[in-house]
Amino acid sequence: IAGITQAPTSQILAAGRRMTLRCTQDMRHNAMYWYRQDLGLGLRLIHYSNTAGTTGKGEVPDGYSVSRANTDDFPLTLASAVPSQTSVYFCASSLGPSGEQFFGPGTRLTVL
């Protein structure tokens, strides 16, 4: 059992390019989340999904989009990357509203 995985591990991207960060979980969790982590700012929620077919905006959604076509996958897309999107991105999942959130290993993204 893999738990929750992310790809790629790291990526250097030219500004203006489109990029999709992948996230897959095999725990049959209902909810999934995308966070970005920047030094001194903690973990900030970008988008979330309570269940397959639904998504919602978090604290910092601008410039990002998500989809949740099935239970297992929750990709995050940067339509036109900008340097301020340089960050470490964590995907997470939870079974329900009061359960532990399990984090993926993270993707380190650098936008030049």
Partner 1 sequence: GENVEQHPSTLSVQEGDSAVIKCTYSDSASNYFPWYKQELGKRPQLIIDIRSNVGEKKDQRIAVTLNKTAKHFSLHITETQPEDSAVYFCAASNSGGSNYKLTFGKGTLLTVNP
Nearer to partner 1, 85 or 94 (CB): 94
Which string of b and e fits 33-59 if b means at least 16 CB within 10 Å?
Answer: bbbbeeeeeeeebbbbbbeeeebeebe
What is the C-alpha to C-alpha distance for residues 61 and 77, in angstroms, rounded to an integer? 11
- Contact between 103 and partner 1 (CB under 8 A)? yes
Cβ atoms of 76 and 89 closer than 8 Å: yes
Alpha carbon separation from 8 to 23, 70, 96 (Å, rounded): 9, 20, 27
Nearer to partner 1, 13 or 45 (CB): 45
Provide the mask over 14-53, with x wherever binding to partner 1 is found by CB under 8 A and - wherever it is not.
-----------------x-x-x----xxxxxx--x-x---
- Contact between 86 and partner 1 (CB under 8 A)? no
Contact footprint for partner 1 (CB under 8 A): 31, 33, 35, 40-45, 48, 50, 56, 58-59, 90, 94, 96-98, 100-101, 103-106
